[in-house]
Structure 1
Amino acid sequence: MKQQNTIPLTAPQRWVLGLASAAALLVGLDTTVVATALTTVRLDLNASGEQLEWTVNAYTLSFAVLLLTAAALGDRVGRRRIFVGGLAVFGLASIGCALAPSAQWLIAGRAVQGVGAAAVMPLALTLLGAAIAPANRARALGAFSAVVGVSVPTGPLLGGAIAEGASWRWIFWLNVPLVAVLIALVLIRIEPSRGPAARLDLAGLALSAGAAFGLVWGLVRAAAAGWTAPETMLALGTGAALTVAFLAVQARSSHPMLPLRLFAVRAFAAGNAAIFFVWASAFGSVYFMAQFFQVGLSAGPLEAGLRLMPWGAMTILVPRAVGALIPRYGERLFVVGGMVLHGAAMIWIAALAAPDVAYWRVMTPLILSGIGVAAAIPATQSAVLGAVTPPDLGKASGAYSTLRQLGGAFGVAVVVAAFAAAGGYTSAQVFLDGFAPAMLGCAALAGGAALSGIGVAGRRVPVVVPAT
């Protein structure tokens, strides 16, 4: 088959790419930016350890729970309308967080922020996929991933710098003018669009939100209370039962929010499975690498953020190159190869872990890990969005975004369990005793991603979705 040639993006397409990427970067930053400011939040608001945990988890929870719902509403009500609405909710919630007089207020504001973010992230992918033809989509997704990748290294670094140099409240105040500018530009530069006309699948909306809530709550609590805690088991069991009910409703529905026929497409199913494990391994590794530098090697929060920058730089530099190469080589090479590279780097770091290890020795596997993750993410996006027809782009992006968030929560829960089984925080050496198994857990998750990635396309080929 002849290879499709890419053509330059038009001005409207460049606006969609730029605005979708900027909005996704903004909500992505708020996933990690608070982490290094928690100490100052605790002192200012007299917050307990559990309240600090929920300052992070409240955002993650509402974000993950409503992704599929937001994607479905975008198709029905209007993609630009839901996208702008999500930005507005995110901005208003940021004001609430900045003004928070107590930890409880801050947690509530973070939960509402997550609601806005849940509307922004899947709709950013949907708008991008709808605006850009398949011949250019992989390259555009590479650019999108490069911009969004900035959030991973710069979130903790930015949070630490703001907390040390000004006040943690400015983390949220800075969102407000950025959101206002984005809303204005989106309304001017992006045309309204929606998916095919269909009634809202109200049962599907309720069941998907309930299932995601149960699963994410269970995974979050597993990291804190343990996998066998009654709260964890009840939440995971409820989430699993609601997932089964959701799938049963989707199979019978004449207007499903997530058509199960999409999973008959190998690239769609494999790409979604792969991003679950990619994000699980990546989130788990970053979660503990930041602690490795602080607890294991006695670095401060800002220094730890700087030491993670080589990893983060790869998430900025690599995706654009991968996006340009996918039309020639397909997605499989980058998902499988990237995860093998990342997994090997995790094993290497586990072998190096010691209280006196020099930073330069850790830097090489850290860079290799970043290259692997940065290669896999745009390839999974391309595989999933390239496997569906335009009417299903919203549904595909909702499924992809949901599984990515679930993967992140799952990864942290798994590596925390591996860490807790062998280590702790009483000394640097005790921490490192648990750190090595945690990194091996990340390597195992990377192996799951590589195996899943075998199912995506080895070369770019057109895919026909089975008829309903």
Structure 2
Amino acid sequence: MLVTTLQRRVLLVAVLASFVSFLDGTVVSVALPAIADELGGPGIAGLALQQWVVDAYLVTLGSLMLVAGSVSDVYGRRRVLTVGLVGFGIASVLCAVAPTGPVLVIARALQGVAGALLVPSSLALIIATFSGEAQARAIGRWTAWTTGAMIVGPFVGGMLVDFASWRWVFWINVPVIAVTLWMLRAVPAAEGEPGRRVDIPGAALAAFGLAGVVFGLIEGERLGWTSPGIVVPVVVGAAMLIAFVLYQRRAADPMLPLRLFRVRNFAWGNLATTAIYGALSLGGFVVTLFLQQVAGYSATWSGLAQLPVTFAMIALSAWFGTLAGRYGPRLFMTVGPIVAGAGFLLMLAMDETAFYPTQVLPGQIVFGLGLSMTVAPLTAAILGAVPAHDAGIGSAVNNAVSRVAGLVMVAFAGVITGGVLDVDSFHRALLVTAGLLVIGGLLSLVGIRSVPGADPVGPDESGPGEGLVKSA
């Protein structure tokens, strides 16, 4: 099947625009010890600072990605991508020059705001430009490179920390953004949909609700779980999240269209996403910290240790995406997470030495194989469950679910480890990670329905996902 020059350019732009957002979700992980050493101080330090540097980004990214899908549909994908890229570049510079921990946390939150504009618009560009099996293949390639960005992040970050400074973790975004903006000029502009509105109240309820709950999870160990400073934010945050769901049921143009969850593959796919991406965030966070802070790896070697997963993703994701487009996603979404979970169970062999050939490498290889089986079929199944005119919000919902699951599990890291990372607490975190991955596979087995050879955007666009509902 021939791919046009425009399609190649759109795919490259979509990959690059999402690449910086995904990369910054993980590239910072190996820099956390260096950041804590330099910027830790009164009020925020140690594990709490490390968690906030990760979660400040994920809170705004996850909560605003939903409304960003609507913004993309209202104002046009190219325009929103441009604004997001410029904003991400400015926020990256602010992170790079941050003089204190709180300033860095605020800059990371601003990075998340801009990053939220990138992923939904990028995927929506692919959905609008490709169709049929070519769309599944394009999604597979997008998944390979963007997820590869998440996995290669620790290696890139480690090199920069060891040979330059942790601040270069943020400076590297600037040239990538400049190239993407230059290429984006040749992508035709798409008009926004008339009559659509941005759900500002919904965005506020989601963002502040998530922030309250995450604040309690991160600071509970330090301030005390019964402290008013913890109880009040958690209760208020939970109430705002409940209010958010209730408001979405009656909003004229909701940022989270609950009608999409009446489509079986969309609903079950997002449940599986919650478990799988929660596991990936928790596992990546604790493995990277353990290798440096307990096993004594340098930042560079910590990143190199996780490169087998990157190689597997780049080599295999597009292939598994094509197979899922041909045979349906259910088998891959079931087996893949279970294999990935087995990889984390193999890492239970790790002790204080983390001897790489026998204790680290086998688990990384098996995890990489399972992840490669999972991600492209999962993305294709969920996006294939919604009609093309809902592509922006559909991709936004799925990416928001994955980011929110990640930020909650990183916030839970202190609870799981008891605030101290040693061999025993690390093993507990590995067991939780493997358990979540297995749950993700079982959810896919129970809920996903495959339609081999079907058009990934669904054969019937007369209503939200009706074609898939009929096929299921």
1:424 aligns with one of 413, 420, 426: 420
Partner SS state of residue 198, structure 2: coil
The 3-state SS of whatever aligns with 2:117 is: helix
TM-score normalised per structure 2: 0.88
Partner AA of 1:16 in structure 2? V
In the alignment, which of 77, 80, 95 is matched to residue 79 of structure 1? Answer: 77
Aligned to 1:160: 158
Residue 290 to residue 185, structure 1, CA distance change in 2 (3 Å): same
Q: Which moved more, 1:222-231 or 1:182-191?
A: 222-231
Retained in 2: the 8 A contact 1:75–1:196?
no
> For residues 406-465 of structure 1, what are the alpha-carbon distances to aligned partners after superposition, in whole Å with 9 as ceiling and x for unaligned?
111233344543332xx934xxxxx11222221111111112211221222323444657
Q: Structure 1 CA distance, aligned partners of 2:90 and 2:408?
A: 30
Whether the aligned pair in 2 keeps the contact of 1:65 and 1:213 (CA below 8 Å) is no
Q: Which of 19, 31, 42 is residue 37 of structure 1 equivalent to?
A: 31
| Counterpart check, 1:238 vs 2:240 | no
Partner of 2:378: 380
Can you list the C-alpha shifts for 1:216-262, whole angstroms capped at 9, x where unaligned?
Answer: 44444468768766555544433332233222222223333322221
Q: Which moved more, 1:32-41 or 1:273-282?
A: 32-41
- Residue 288 of structure 2 aligns with which residue? 290
- Other-structure match for 2:115: 117
Report the counterpart of residue 428 of structure 1 in structure 2: none
Counterpart CA distance in 1 for 2:226 and 2:377 is: 36
Alpha-carbon distance change, 43 to 247 in structure 1, aligned in 2, over 3 angstroms: closer
CA distance in structure 1 between the aligned counterparts of 2:259 and 2:432, rounded to whole angstroms: 33
Say if 1:75 and 1:195, in contact at 8 Å, map to a contact too. Answer: yes
Aligned match for 1:96, one of 90, 94, 97: 94
2:435 counterpart letter in structure 1: A
User: What is the aligned partner in structure 1 of residue 5 from structure 2?
Assistant: 11
Q: Which moved more, 1:227-236 or 1:152-161?
A: 227-236
Q: Distance in 2 between matches of 1:463 and 1:208?
A: 33
* Compared CA separation, residues 261 and 328, structure 1 to 2 (3 A): same
Give the C-alpha shift of residue 30 in structure 1: 1.4
The aligned counterpart of 2:443 is: 452
Whether the aligned pair in 1 keeps the contact of 2:79 and 2:189 (CA below 8 Å) is: no
Query: Gaps spanning 5+ residues in structure 1: where?
Result: 1-6, 426-430
**1:359 maps to 2:329:** no
* 1:195/1:133 CA distance change after superposition, 3 Å: farther
Report the CA distance between 1:122 and its aligned residue: 1.8
Checking the alignment, whether the CA contact within 8 Å between 1:153 and 1:309 is kept in structure 2 is yes
Give the fraction of aligned pairs with identical amino acids, expressed as a percent.
33
Give the TM-score normalised by structure 1.
0.88
The CA deviation at 1:32 is: 2.1
Secondary structure in 1 matching 2:116: helix
Q: Which one of 61, 66, 69 corresponds to residue 68 of structure 1?
A: 66
Q: For the Cα contact (< 8 Å) 2:205–2:243, is it kept in 1?
A: yes
Letter in 2 for 1:433: D
Deviations 1:73-115 (A, max 9, x none): 1111222111110110011122222333333433332221111
Decide whether the 8 Å contact of 2:344 with 2:431 is kept in 1: yes
- Counterparts of 1:164-203 in structure 2 under 5 Å? 164-195=162-193, 197-203=195-201
Q: Distance in 1 between matches of 2:450 and 2:368?
A: 22
Q: 2:22 aligns with which of 15, 20, 28?
A: 28
For residue 186 of structure 2, give the secondary structure of its aligned residue in structure 1.
helix
Amino acid of the structure 1 residue aligned with 2:153? G
Corresponding residue of 1:249: 247
- Structure 1: how far apart are the matches of 2:267 and 2:168? 41
Q: Is the 8 A contact 2:270 2:382 kept in 1?
A: yes
One-letter identity of the residue aligned with 1:360: P
Q: Which moved more, 1:434-443 or 1:312-321?
A: 312-321
User: Hey, what's the Cα distance between the residues in 2 that align with 1:319 and 1:222?
Assistant: 39
Which segment drifts farther, 45-54 or 339-348?
A: 45-54
CA displacement at 1:292 relative to structure 2: 3.3
- Cα distance in 1 for partners of 2:438, 2:226 equals 25
What are the within-5 Å matches in structure 2 for residues 208-287 of structure 1?
A: 208-221=206-219, 231-287=229-285
Q: Cα gap change, 1:359/1:163 in structure 2, threshold over 3 Å: closer, same or farther? A: closer
In structure 2, what is the equivalent of residue 438 of structure 1? 429
Change (3 A) 1:117 1:356: closer
Change (3 A) 1:298 1:137: same
- The answer to whether the 8 A contact 2:330-2:450 is kept is yes
Indicate the residue corresponding to 1:3 in structure 2. Answer: none
State how far apart, in whole Å, the 2-side matches of 1:43 and 1:36 are.
13
User: Which of these residues, 337, 345, 348, is aligned with residue 335 of structure 2?
Assistant: 337
Aligned pairs, number = 454
Cα deviations across residues 366-404 of structure 1 (Å, max 9, x unaligned)? 211122122212122111110011111111111111100
Counterpart of 2:470 in structure 1 is none
* Structural RMSD (CA): 2.6
User: How many Å apart are 1:18 and its aligned residue?
Assistant: 0.8
